[in-house]
């Protein structure tokens, strides 16, 4: 039979641990003050955790010596602690590759990405004889109408994007022992920053450069959606009123393009998307129901005219993007002829050795969204 230690022995053992902690804390206090006077100690001088350990007492006495993060993933771990070293990177989401087509003909040597837009004009004879403007001509005419061509150039700058990854040979050696190579982790961190930067520039441009993006271009017409009686927000409207907002946006944009391009892409704020996806409406003649999203997809003007399914997707950058920080809906056609984004893909330098440091630099060039035919898209605010 297993004999458990007496209560007195347990209390004595605990007292011994506490005495050891107090002694360690006292010794650290003297060392801390001496080091502080000499400028040695920094606020992250010790690693601490929430467990009852010696260093937790130090953390309580010296808040500046709180939890320490180590770039190599080295932590103070007790023998009874099972540390999961799986890389848990920051949570983030990007959608730029879903919503826009890249322009890849630009290179590192280019400083400007530009395109041209051509306007045609042919006035006809006009006047009282042929007021319609059609190119009618008399058989004996000696002055005939002809077309005029005007070509406009639209330049936008390309800016360098650079990220240097560096570490010491000591960091690399420590990380290899731990099974978490520091060069791999820094590469993943750089990948995350790249995706987030491109996402931001695609959707919002860069105010410091006076450039705009997918969600805020002054070239795109912005209109407030209709008031449904209780407001403009979709949460206050009936499914039929929401469908009316959607079809109005599609038809207005279609008309602005001379009935050439019917948009087949719709982007909504996530809350609006989840609302229409999760709200069930009754359907006549059935015992069940259908979501508003399905109702919109089955009854919109776009699919009936273009034959393509209407692609309705959530977009976080639509939150507060409208006038007065209202939510914004975007309708457009995802086609490189109408909208593109110029980018020079990332490249890298060879690994460089500098004393005990190793470094590699990644570089690229980013442009700004090219709305080549802004009349093929429109913004709708207040949803």
Give pLDDT tens digits for 6-55: 545 444 544 444 454 455 455 555 655 665 665 554 444 443 344 434 44
Model confidence pLDDT, tens digit, residues 181-194? 888 889 999 999 99
Residue 104 has pLDDT above 70, yes or no: yes
Q: What is the pLDDT at residue 58?
A: 47
Residue 240 has pLDDT above 70, yes or no: yes
Q: Which whole-number Å values give the CA distances from 305 to 7, 15, 338, 379, in the listed order?
A: 84, 82, 19, 21
In whole angstroms, give the CA distance from residue 123 to residue 38. Answer: 86
Nearest by Cα to 324 from 242, 224, 234: 224
Residue 127 has pLDDT above 80, yes or no: no
In whole angstroms, give the CA distance from residue 68 to residue 116. Answer: 55
Q: Which residue has the tokens 């520039």?
A: 201
Q: What is the pLDDT at residue 32?
A: 55
pTM check: above 0.95: no
Model confidence pLDDT, tens digit, residues 273-327? 999 999 998 655 444 568 999 999 999 999 889 888 999 999 999 999 999 999 9
Kindly tell me the burial class for residue 244, based on how many C-beta atoms sit within 10 Å of its own C-beta (0-12, 13-18, 19 or more): middle
Which tops the pLDDT comparison, 62 or 47?
Answer: 62
């Amino acid at each position: 039979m297993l004999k458990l230690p007496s209560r007195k022995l347990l209390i004595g053992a605990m007292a011994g641990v506490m005495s050891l902690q107090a002694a360690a804390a006292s010794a650290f206090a003297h060392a801390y003050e001496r080091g502080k006077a000499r400028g040695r100690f920094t606020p992250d001088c010790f690693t601490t955790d929430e467990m009852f350990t010696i260093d937790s007492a130090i953390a309580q006495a010296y808040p500046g010596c709180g939890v320490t993060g180590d770039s190599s993933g080295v932590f103070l771990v007790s023998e009874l602690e099972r540390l999961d070293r799986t890389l848990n990177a920051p949570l983030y989401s990007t959608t730029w590759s879903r919503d826009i087509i890249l322009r890849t003909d630009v290179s590192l040597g280019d400083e400007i990405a530009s395109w041209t837009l051509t306007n045609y004009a042919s006035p006809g004879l006009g006047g009282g004889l042929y007021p319609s403007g059609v190119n009618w001509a008399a058989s004996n005419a000696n002055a005939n109408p002809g077309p005029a061509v005007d070509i406009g150039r639209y330049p936008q700058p390309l800016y360098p994007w650079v990220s240097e990854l560096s570490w010491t040979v000591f960091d690399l050696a420590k990380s290899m022992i731990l099974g978490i190579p520091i060069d791999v982790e820094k590469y993943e961190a750089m990948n995350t920053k790249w995706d987030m930067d491109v996402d931001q520039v695609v959707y919002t441009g860069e105010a410091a450069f006076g450039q705009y993006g997918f969600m805020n271009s002054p070239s795109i017409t912005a209109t407030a959606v209709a008031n449904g009686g209780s407001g403009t927000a979709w949460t206050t409207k009936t499914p039929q009123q929401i469908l009316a907002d959607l079809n109005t946006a599609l038809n207005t944009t279609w008309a602005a393009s001379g009935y050439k391009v019917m948009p087949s892409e719709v982007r909504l704020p996530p809350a609006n998307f989840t609302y229409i996806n999760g709200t069930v409406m009754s359907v006549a003649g059935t015992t069940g129901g259908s979501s508003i999203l399905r109702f919109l997809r089955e009854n919109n003007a776009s699919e009936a005219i273009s034959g393509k399914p209407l692609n309705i997707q959530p977009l976080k950058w639509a939150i507060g993007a409208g006038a007065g920080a209202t939510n914004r809906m975007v309708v457009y056609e995802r086609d490189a002829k109408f909208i593109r984004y110029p980018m020079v893909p990332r490249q890298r330098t060879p690994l460089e050795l500098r004393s005990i440091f190793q470094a590699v630099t990644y570089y690229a060039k980013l442009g700004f969204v090219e709305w080549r035919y802004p009349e093929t898209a429109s913004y709708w605010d207040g949803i």
